[in-house]
Amino acid sequence: MIPFNMPPYTGEEDHLVLDAMRGPKLCGDGPYALKCQKWFEDQLGCLKTLLTPSCTHALEMAAILIDIQPGDEVIMPSYTFVSTANPFVLRGAKVVFVDIRPDTMNIDETLIEAAITDKTKAIVPVHYAGVSCDMDTIIRIADKYKLFVVEDAAQAFYSYYKNEPVGTRGHLAAFSFHETKNVTSGGEGGLLIINDKRFVQRAEIIREKGTNRSQFFRGMVDKYTWVDVGSSYLPSEIQAAYLYGQLLNAEKIQAKRLEIWRNYYNGLLPLVQRELITLSAVPGDCSQNAHMFYLKVRDIEVRTQLLSHLKAAGILAVFHYVPLHSAIAGMQFGSFIGDDNFTTVESSRLIRLPLYYGMDIADCEKVIRAIFDFFDTL
């Protein structure tokens, strides 16, 4: 069986994890955590980054930082993971879903303005498959209505928008280091990216259980105490050491993923010409990170048949999100504004193919052949 995903592993993680285990500090913000954060601050050119136990937690911190209150509205696509919505719902917000663009599966930036009310507090764009949303337009709207922008950049490690790393345009952004993402911190992990200096000090406090412990360790206050709401949003040093091993090999991981992605793309193009499938479009001002390879078939029936054909051929391909507005909790905590022209139909046509760092090109060829077989015998 060709699995859908295997956690990325380069061989360099082992000795770093052992080194962390033998060191004097295993809790959060140890030497490897600081090295990772420095790596991201240099790579992104951003103000501040903080490792978190997950992207979900980074988004929870963001919701606290922008002071979401019960009744506030937050605009996002419905075609996304539950973790885009839950952090805001936990603070009492109402989620406002708008439709997506069929070319990128990202929020349709032209529909955002019509969904804004006097209760709107934030826009949460999701960069699906590591392809950036139209951030120029989203930031322009946010500025006009004085809204916050929190980027769900869970899938966008090493993606670019207008030659800038994705995750640096919003007030706040979040990466995921779950094992299904391009790099992982030992299976689970995330990063809060802070691009607005108003949030730096309070982010450290919220992350340290609502205490000013970080300032205390820097010698800025002479005792540490409870000063704000907060929780425990620090991953352990073992996770940070694993992640650092991945960051040292980031170029290698990305080169491999891009090779597989391009192989799929070029291999499947004849099926696009025969109008049997469509492939994702990467707008000219975006550079994608090969987080995901997906294709779309005619409809949900063809999708079901293709998935079972691939399964019979020993290949695990999968569909993706069931739109949040049609989920039980989505109906309770949110509502769809405007017409659902694309969210439901486009999501029901989409299939993701196996793509992981350790994948053989021969397996990629096998997947392509199995897809051709399917359409040739249809």
Ligand X SMILES: *Cc1c(COP(=O)(O)O)cnc(C)c1O
Interface pick for ligand X out of 5, 49, 78, 80 (rule CB under 6 A): 80
Write down the least CB distance from residue 180 to ligand X, Å. Answer: 7
Write down the least CB distance from residue 107 to ligand X, Å. Answer: 12
Interface pick for ligand X out of 9, 40, 79, 81 (rule CB under 6 A): 81
Span of 22-30, 79-87, 98-106, 309-317 interacting with ligand X by CB under 6 A: 79-87
Residues 37-66 that bind ligand X (CB under 6 A): 54-56
Residue closer to ligand X by CB (options 55, 368) is: 55
Residue type, 244: Y
Write down the least CB distance from residue 152 to ligand X, Å. Answer: 5
The gap from C-alpha 13 to its chain's centroid, in whole angstroms, comes to 23
Residue closer to ligand X by CB (options 186, 190) is: 190
Residue closer to ligand X by CB (options 165, 235) is: 235
The helix (H) or strand (E) run that includes residue 52 is strand 48-52
Residue 63 φ/ψ, nearest 5 degrees:
-65, -35
Write down the least CB distance from residue 293 to ligand X, Å. Answer: 15
Q: How many CB atoms lie within 10 A of CB 178?
A: 20
Write down the least CB distance from residue 355 to ligand X, Å. Answer: 14
The contact mask relative to ligand X for 146-185 (x = CB under 6 A, - = no) is ------x-xx--------------------x-x-------
Residue closer to ligand X by CB (options 133, 370) is: 133
| Cα separation, 168 vs 150, whole angstroms | 10
Write down the least CB distance from residue 159 to ligand X, Å. Answer: 13
| Cα separation, 241 vs 21, whole angstroms | 9
Count of residues interacting with ligand X (CB under 6 A): 14
| Cα separation, 249 vs 338, whole angstroms | 44
Binding of residue 246 to ligand X (CB under 6 A)? no
Residue closer to ligand X by CB (options 115, 150) is: 150
- Residues β-bridged to residue 174: 152, 192
Residues 88-127 that bind ligand X (CB under 6 A): 126
DSSP assignment, residue 122? E
Residues 272-331 that bind ligand X (CB under 6 A): none
Residue closer to ligand X by CB (options 121, 178) is: 178
Binding of residue 84 to ligand X (CB under 6 A)? yes
Q: What angle do CA 355, 53, 238 make, to 5 degrees?
A: 85
Residue closer to ligand X by CB (options 80, 287) is: 80
Binding of residue 83 to ligand X (CB under 6 A)? yes
Span of 77-85, 221-229, 279-287, 355-363 interacting with ligand X by CB under 6 A: 77-85
Write down the least CB distance from residue 18 to ligand X, Å. Answer: 25
Write down the least CB distance from residue 220 to ligand X, Å. Answer: 31
Q: Using an 8 Å Cβ cutoff, are 136 and 157 in contact?
A: no
Binding site for ligand X (CB under 6 A): 54-56, 80-81, 83-84, 126, 152, 154-155, 176, 178, 190
